[in-house]
Structure 1
Amino acid sequence: MKAKRYHFCLVIFELWKLLRNTFFIGFYLYVIKYGEESDLFKYGRMAFVALIFIAVIYILLKWMTHKYELDNHSFHIHKGVFVKSKQTVPFSKIHNITKHTSLFHKIFNMTSIRFETSSTDEDTDIVFNVITKDEANRLEGHVTNQSSEEAIHDEIGHGEQGQFVSERKIHFSPTRNELIRASFTSLSFLLFIPIVASFYSKLDDIFHIEKEAEGIVSNIINSWWIVTILLVLFILCSVIFGMIRTFLKYGKYEISSDDNRIYIHKGVLEETAFSIAKDKVQAIEIEQSLMKKILGLAEVKLTSVGSMKIGDESLDVNTLYPFLPVKQAYKIVSDLLPSYKVEEAMVRLPKKSFWVRLLKPSWIWIIATAVLFFVKPKFFQLEESWWLCSILLLVIIMIVRVLNYINSGYLLNEQFIQIKHGGLTTTLFISKRDKIIEVVVTRTLLQKLFGLSSIATTNRANPVEQNKIDDVPIEIGRDFYLWYMARRAEIHIE
């Protein structure tokens, strides 16, 4: 393929970013300080115009000189306005593909796409901030097809190269009832309160509503039926707001896969599409908050090396639908990644771990108690009430530790490890042995007295993914180390 120049809409996008980043400086110099004729503002305006002019020229030169091309194996990116450079990124190094279509992109019928590599350096990623949808689909299809062909060719050791097409299977798309349930589970309707409060505060700053409507407010408060109607209307608006917000975020949510990749699509006004090669998934995390545990729901996250960003914007795209019933979540994981095994029956911590967790000193409680002792604040007008706060804090800490003990568990199963931990919020971590880059077995003095240890894993991610479970028997710590050493036969150097 011949080297191509990026779409001209990229220039418009860069100019929009320049305007957005410099707007308040220009507003300050030319509007707020319009009448100022001192040298500081006089030369400041001249410097501002000069910098804007240089930035515009640089954006145009960058568009004219930066190009891209790709063959059957790699991307080739030509960079540099004054100093030329060429970047080559093999398709085999690409882990994730993320597409994001913002309101800006929709106005021009464009999108953005990012090909994330295994490197933690974002400069090695291939990013198209503005690109036509057809071109984005073509690039994505070319990369995924060539990667699939190479994987099959490496696996069978022979065969002719041809276009590889794999049919996608849809695993989940939320129904209307599931979206309604998600709007309440996510508590998104509560966001309506700070939005209304912020809007009211700004109106009051401009029109002094509180002073002008002081009599009206007092009459409303004294009328119970008006208060009731307003409260009902406020609750109704909050619920509607929560439903609209949930629909805009998850209305077009879809989880699908083919033989080689997993695809996640979400968003209505702003759309985000994420795909990852199945063999590039580093680990799986299944999280349950207190609310989700009560409702029997779970959130599944796929751990990968990429940064999940387009430009300066972070995208939460590696999460499967965050309001899945637990059983359904386990089934979807098995369908998406047949090589992963989610075992519900796990090994519980021994009883001596319970006593170790209760006896372990809490530095939060010690420091808080010391501060309360010296400050000695009065709560509810009670003398010496600070020690009641100290006791209450200690009780809360102990309750969380007890819950953490009840929720903790582990399992070493052939090539897999499962670690579950957490108090009010629990996390189930699942990873394959060959995806773990480091393990650590540690023992504190208290653990030595009880014959216990802590085991920890590290997976490649951005930032690195670390998981740990405390107070397992020392024999498990030894087995864990030997289990990890057996990975040598499973490692494949890229």
Structure 2
Amino acid sequence: MNEPLPAEDNPVAEGQRLHPLGLIVGLITGLPQLIFPMVAAVFGTGSRDRPELIPLVILAVLLISVFFRWLAWLRTHYHVGDDDIRIERGILSRSARSIPYDRIQDVSVEQKLLARLLGIGEVKFETGGGEGEDAKLSYVSLDEAERLRETVRARKAGVATPEASAGAVPEPDLPPVFAMDTRRLVILGFYSFSLVIFAILGGLAQQFDFLLPFDWWDFKNWIGIAEDNGVDITHIDRSVQIGGAIIALLALTAIGFATGIVRTFLKEYGFRLDRTAKGFRRRRGLTTLTDVVMPVARVQAAQIETGPIRKINGWHALKFVSLAQESKDESHHIVAPLAQMDEIAPIMAEAGIALPSTEAQFRRAPLLWWGQGLVYLWIAMAIGTAATIIFADAPFSKAGWMLIIPLAFVPLVWLEWRNYGDLVDESQIYLRENWWNQQFSIAPQVKVQSAEVSQGPLARLFGLATLHFGIAGGSLRFAALPLEDALAVRDRIMDAVAPVDFSEINRRG
């Protein structure tokens, strides 16, 4: 939250400054944003007619950037108080943000490649607001980052100093709960097939298309280039065309696998999960090293993900649902990117979550419920067919093909129905859903914060209801229960949740 600054005569401590080496990181990483100001300065000062002045103009732009970055660094302070962490910044318009300790859900330390070389890191404070980190300090020394994390943990635990909470005996260096070796990284990379490289190249080509001698997106230009080099596409043998298409497809596949492997190594290299007195500590990253500690008590649910191809070899991914968001791209914390179920079970047990028994019977929603979308689609196609026959005077033999379209989606609906299941036992709720991106969610009943029963027009007609469970950081949905069963399950869960003090349950661990 933003607060007015204290008056100048108010005896408030000046606070601490960020690490000065952060100026170097900010300047180097911000160089791409200076390209257009440099070009504008060269054209604006007329230096393009005097090439000897161009280096001076570029140097002037760099010096101006360095000056304002130094001024911003000089005017940025952070205060570690008894109740909150206060960050003050601004050159002309000053602002102050106060983050109470009891609202901080997670403190993570991130080091990009240049920051790792300089021995500094970026500290991110997450308050569970749903949009990633609430505030960050760019950059501080690694010792200071660890001190800030310990201070937050101590204050949330009600201890006056981090030394009092840490104790005199250091934690032993135990083997990790889970780790990723090179073999698993390669396997995960193969499963993470990606063609994002073409999206990046396409974006760069579109951004700098003025530098290209032709419109790269126009296929006729490529044909023209081939003809200019003595290649007549219309006279190429059919077998050569087929062979070329196969080679292009194989090359595309190889690029996709290679891209997936590279992205996996950059993100997951050195993945290590430890169980410490503070909670789960996860470190990973090749060029960007992240160090995150998540208290066990803040684990709200577990989510096991897999797919029809990964499942053949028994590979799964484990994520923990927490009030704090992993990042803007990932809402849940990944604690095992690629693991077997016998490796996942002990990790979940550390968080107080168990897999269902082998005798557990999951409930499936009625198949008709999953097929209602096909019914609506068929009605739309029937209306389209009738309109074509009436207004376009087309025979049914030419217009009736639209009625066959819903049949193409029948296998997908059946697969979705086959992979759905929900269950409630004595202490947990379970939800299994999706066919391609299979998800198996498990949440302790005491972590449920709300339960809502809803009915649409069609559900009300058949006496069915949907039961929504709200947990911190996510939700679970039981589809198409009989109304009486939905109300009974809701009351049963709420009876288990009613005695729970959520202000205390998330403080422990």
TM-score in terms of structure 1 length: 0.75
Q: Residue 296 of structure 2 aligns with which residue?
A: 278
The answer for the alignment partner of 1:349 in structure 2 is 363
Is 1:133 the counterpart of 2:145 in the alignment? Answer: no
Distance of 1:264 and 1:161 partners within structure 2: 19
d(CA) in 1 for partners of 2:372 and 2:494? 33
Q: Whole-Å Cα distance in 2 between the matches of residues 263 and 369 of structure 1?
A: 57
Shift of 1:367: 4.9
Q: Indicate if the aligned counterparts of 2:345 and 2:354 stay in contact, CA closer than 8 A.
A: no
Render the CA deviation track for 1:26-47: whole Å, top value 9, x for unaligned.
Answer: 535745996999xxxxxxxxxx
Please state whether the residue corresponding to 1:306 is helix, strand or coil.
Answer: coil
Q: Does 2:106 correspond to 1:96?
A: yes
CA distance in 1, matches of 2:141, 2:448: 38
CA distance in 2, matches of 1:423, 1:287: 11
Report the CA distance between 1:456 and its aligned residue.
0.8
Which residue of the other structure, out of 335, 352, 355, is the alignment partner of 1:320?
335
- Alignment pair present for 1:481 and 2:494: no
1:249 maps to 2:250:
no
Name the residue aligned to 1:358.
371
After TM superposition, the structure 1 = structure 2 runs for residues 41-56 of structure 1, keeping only pairs within 5 Å, are: none
Contact 2:422 2:432 in 1 (8 A): yes
Q: 1:175 to 1:398 in 2, by over 3 A?
A: same
- Residue 137 of structure 2 aligns to which amino acid in structure 1? F
Structure 1 residue corresponding to 2:72, chosen from 62, 74, 77: 62
**TM-superposed deviation, 1:196:** 8.2
Instruction: Give the partner amino acid of 1:470.
Output: A
Query: Aligned pair in 2 of structure 1 residues 182, 74: CA closer, same or farther (>3 Å)?
Result: same
**In structure 2, do the counterparts of structure 1 residues 458 and 385 end up closer, same or farther at CA, with 3 Å as the change threshold?**
farther
Go from structure 1 to structure 2 and tell me whether the alpha carbon gap of 1:165 and 1:283 turns closer, same or farther (over 3 Å shift).
Answer: farther
- Structure 1 portions without partners, runs of 5+: 38-48, 154-158, 377-382
- In structure 1, the partner of 2:420 is 408
2-structure distance, mates of 1:161, 1:72:
18
CA distance in 1 between counterparts of 2:253 and 2:429 reads 46
Alignment partners' CA distance in 2, 1:478 and 1:216: 72
Query: Which residue in the other structure is 1:303 paired with?
Result: 321
C-alpha separation in 1, matches of 2:315 and 2:124: 31
Check conservation: 1:6, 1:67, Cα contact below 8 A.
yes
1:308 is matched by which residue type in structure 2? Answer: E
- Partner SS, residue 336 of structure 2: coil
Task: State the match for 2:192 in structure 1.
Answer: 186
The residue aligned with 1:490 is 500
Closer, same or farther: CA 303–223 of 1 in aligned 2, 3 Å: same
Distance across 2 between alignment mates of 1:172 and 1:479: 39
The one-letter code of the counterpart of 2:440 is: L
Written as runs of structure 1 = structure 2, the 5 A alignment for 1:375-390 is: 387-388=400-401, 390=403
Aligned CA RMSD, in angstroms, stands at 4.6
Equivalent residue pairs, number? 460
Give the superposition deviation at 1:121: 7.2
8 Å contact kept, 2:370–2:413 = yes
Question: What is the distance in 2 between the residues matched to 1:280 and 1:55?
Answer: 42
How much does 1:371 deviate?
6.3
Q: How far is the alpha carbon of 1:187 from its aligned partner? A: 1.9
Q: CA deviation at 1:469?
A: 2.1
Partner of 1:143: 152
Cα offset, 1:116, TM superposition? 1.0
Residue 294 in structure 1 maps to residue 312 in structure 2: yes
Change (3 A) 1:27 1:316: farther
Q: Is the 8 A contact 1:148 1:260 kept in 2?
A: no
Does 2:281 align with 1:263? Answer: yes
1:429 equivalent in alignment to 2:441: yes
Q: For 1:93, give the aligned amino acid.
A: R
Q: Which residue of 2 aligns with 1:171?
A: 177
Q: CA deviation at 1:319?
A: 1.6
CA apart distance, 1:407: 1.9
Which residue does the alignment assign to 1:43? none
The alignment partner of 1:290 has SS state of coil
Letter in 2 for 1:143: V
Residue 321 of structure 2 contacts residue 332 of structure 2 at CA under 8 Å; is this kept in 1? no
CA distance in 2 between partners of 1:386 and 1:51 (Å): 66
- Greater CA drift, 339-348 or 258-267: 339-348
Change (3 A) 1:171 1:110: same
Is the 8 Å Cα contact of residues 442 and 454 (structure 1) preserved in structure 2? yes
CA distance in 2, matches of 1:391, 1:419: 33
* d(CA) in 1 for partners of 2:335, 2:503: 29
Aligned to 1:255, the other structure's residue is in SS state strand
Deviation at 1:184, TM superposition (A): 1.8
Report the Cα offset of residue 5 of structure 1. Answer: 0.9
Shift in CA distance, 315/64, structure 1 to aligned 2, threshold 3 Å = farther
Whether the aligned pair in 1 keeps the contact of 2:374 and 2:409 (CA below 8 Å) is no
Q: In the TM superposition, what is the alpha-carbon distance from 1:410 to its structure 2 partner?
A: 1.8
- Cα gap change, 1:409 to 1:253, in 2 (>3 Å): same
AA aligned to 1:349 is R
Q: In structure 1, the residue corresponding to 2:309 is in which secondary structure?
A: helix
Q: Does the CA contact (< 8 Å) of 2:421 and 2:431 recur in 1?
A: yes
Quote the Cα distance in structure 2 between the aligned partners of 1:250 and 1:81. Answer: 38
Report the CA distance between 1:343 and its aligned residue: 1.1
Q: 1:285, 1:427 within 8 Å by CA — same for their partners in 2?
A: yes
- Contact (CA 8 Å) 2:179, 2:271: kept in 1 or not? yes
**For residues 433-472 of structure 1, what are the structure 2 equivalents within 5 Å?**
433-461=445-473, 465-472=474-481
CA drift of 1:114 comes to 0.4
State the secondary structure of the residue aligned to 1:184: helix
Deviation of residue 278 (structure 1)? Answer: 1.2
Bigger Cα displacement from structure 2, 247-256 vs 166-175: 166-175
The separation in 2 between residues aligned to 1:483 and 1:234, in whole angstroms, is: 53
Q: Partners in 1 of 2:373 and 2:288 — Cα distance? A: 48
Residue by residue over 1:2-26, the C-alpha shift from the partner in whole angstroms, topping out at 9 and shown as x without a partner, is 8211112333444456653353355
Give a deviation string over 1:360-384, Cα, whole Å, max 9, x none.
66545655776687689xxxxxx96
| 1:24 alignment partner in structure 2 | 36
Cross-structure match for 1:76: 86
Partner Cα separation in structure 1 for residue 441 and residue 239 of structure 2: 55
Deviation at 1:484, TM superposition (A): 3.2
The farther-off stretch of 400-409 and 82-91 is 82-91
Quick one: structure 1 residues 324 and 370, their matched pair in 2 at CA, closer, same or farther if it must change by over 3 Å?
Answer: farther
The secondary structure found in structure 2 opposite 1:479 is: helix
